[in-house]
Amino acid sequence: MFHGSITALITPFRDGALDMDAFGRLVEGQIEQGSHGLVPCGTTGESPTLTKEEHDLIVERTVALVKGRIPVIAGTGTNSTASTIESTLRAQHAGADAALIVTPYYNKPTQDGLYAHYKAVHDATDIPIIIYNIPPRCIIDMSVDTMSRLAELPRIVGVKDATADLTRPTLLRNRVGPDFCQLSGEDGTAPLCAQMQNAWRAGNIKEAETIRDRLAPLNKALFCETSPAPIKYAASQLGICTDEVRLPMLPATPAARAAVDKAMEFAGLHKAQNPAPARAAG
């Protein structure tokens, strides 16, 4: 159902407000560069600091801009089952192709609690659901046993795995079969860019390896500080948007900017003639 390079979109800001012009350029640029899907309002999109109205606007605008050309997987997860259901229903109504639902952060539910949370969202909606398992952000880790139980529900169709455990996909595949979609949420453990994905699917292994090696320093640099601050700095240098983030996030520090600049140069990404000015890190 879903495959390839699926980009977690940043949310551009300007002077504290959504920059929807920049967001439109970002979406079109992703499609032009061959992305196989888009994720608005995920962690990279600073979803915890978005208002409900902003969240809905971004999902609606993404669907309207994409016009069915590639899948839109809306981030709708919170640490409240009721609010997750509401957010998922709104994304469903907006025309999203699927919902990406993060494990409930801060609450630290048990494995049975995780199952009950996802089943409740599944039963209250009619949209395909992808589990987002990211222990470094959420503290909890959904076990293979729990995910296998959830995979039995007809519209829980896959997982975005950010555990960095390379044994996990095989263990899960042995339990649930090949039809359960397994996506990587760790840039360094998967060929994420569109060119590399296409080369891999076409059997051009040497080309895929060359692109992988060129991107490896960038994958590391973009997470040298808490995401998405380094990513937004990189986007500002490409002329996509400002590097503005919302508190409690701060812009990338000078050291992080230097690391990103070096990695971008190594990857062959050239700065825009008029990059957006970077803000002080505070």
Condensed to tens digits (0 to 9), the pLDDT of residues 227-267 reads 999 999 999 999 999 999 999 999 999 999 999 999 999 99
CA distance 180 to 59: 25
Average pLDDT for the chain: 94
Q: Where are the domains of the chain?
A: 6-190, 195-282
- CATH architecture assignment, domain 6-190: Alpha-Beta Barrel (3.20)
Cis preceding linkage at 228, omega within 30? yes
What positions carry a catalytic annotation? 132, 160
% of the chain residues with pLDDT over 70: 96
pLDDT of residue 271: 83
- Shortest CA distance to 27 belongs to which of 43, 38, 42? 38
What value does the mean pLDDT take over residues 212-217? Answer: 93
Place of tokens 């469903």: 92
**282 vs 115 pLDDT, higher one:** 115
pLDDT of residue 248: 96
Element (H, E) at 258: helix 254-267
At 187, the pLDDT band (50, 70, 90 cuts) reads confident
pLDDT of residue 194: 85
pLDDT of residue 190: 66
Place of tokens 């529900």: 153
What value does the mean pLDDT take over residues 209-225? Answer: 94
On the question of pLDDT at 282 being above 60, the answer is no
pLDDT of residue 156: 98
What value does the mean pLDDT take over residues 79-84? Answer: 98
Burial call 169-202: b when 16+ CB within 10 Å, e when fewer: beebeeebeeebebbbbbbebbbbbbbbbbbbee
On the question of pLDDT at 144 being above 90, the answer is yes
What value does the mean pLDDT take over residues 142-163? Answer: 98
What value does the mean pLDDT take over residues 49-67? Answer: 98
CA distance 276 to 39: 24
What value does the mean pLDDT take over residues 83-103? Answer: 98
% of the chain residues with pLDDT over 90: 88
